[in-house]
Amino acid sequence: MCRLMAYKGTSILLDELLYKPKNSLINQSINARELEEPLNGDGFGVGWYSHHISHEPATFVSLNPAWSNRNLRNLAPKIQSDCMLAHVRAASVGEVSEANCHPFQYRELLMAHNGGVENFGRIKRDIRAQLSDELYNWIKGQTDSEHIFSLLVNRLNTEHREFSADAVTDAFEYTFHHVKSLMKKHGIHEEAYLNMVVTNGHFIVATRFVTDDKAEPLTLYHSEGSRYVVEDGVSRMEAPKDDDEAVLVVSEKLTDDSHWTMIPKNHFVIVEHDLNVRIKPIKA
Residues with a catalytic annotation lie at: 2
CA–chain centroid gap for 262, Å, is 16
Listed in sequence order, the residues at least 6 apart from 16 whose beta carbon sits closer than 8 Å to its beta carbon are: 228, 230
Give one word for 242, left, alpha or beta, with left for phi > 0 and alpha for psi -120 to 50: left
Question: Cα separation of 68 and 54, whole Å?
Answer: 30
Per-residue CA distances from 44 to 25, 62, 142, 213, 216 (Å): 10, 6, 16, 31, 26
Residue 210 is given by DSSP the state: B
For residue 80, how many C-alpha atoms fall within 13 Å in the half-sphere facing its CB? 5
CA dihedral 223, 224, 226, 232 (to 10 degrees): 20
Question: Cα separation of 251 and 27, whole Å?
Answer: 13
Q: For 32-65, b where at least 16 C-beta lie within 10 A, e where not — what string? A: beebeeeebbbbbbbbbbbeeeeebbebbbbbbb
Phi and psi, residue 213, nearest 5°: -60, -25
Which of 229, 240, 257 has the alpha carbon at shortest distance from 20?
A: 229
Question: Cα separation of 98 and 203, whole Å?
Answer: 26
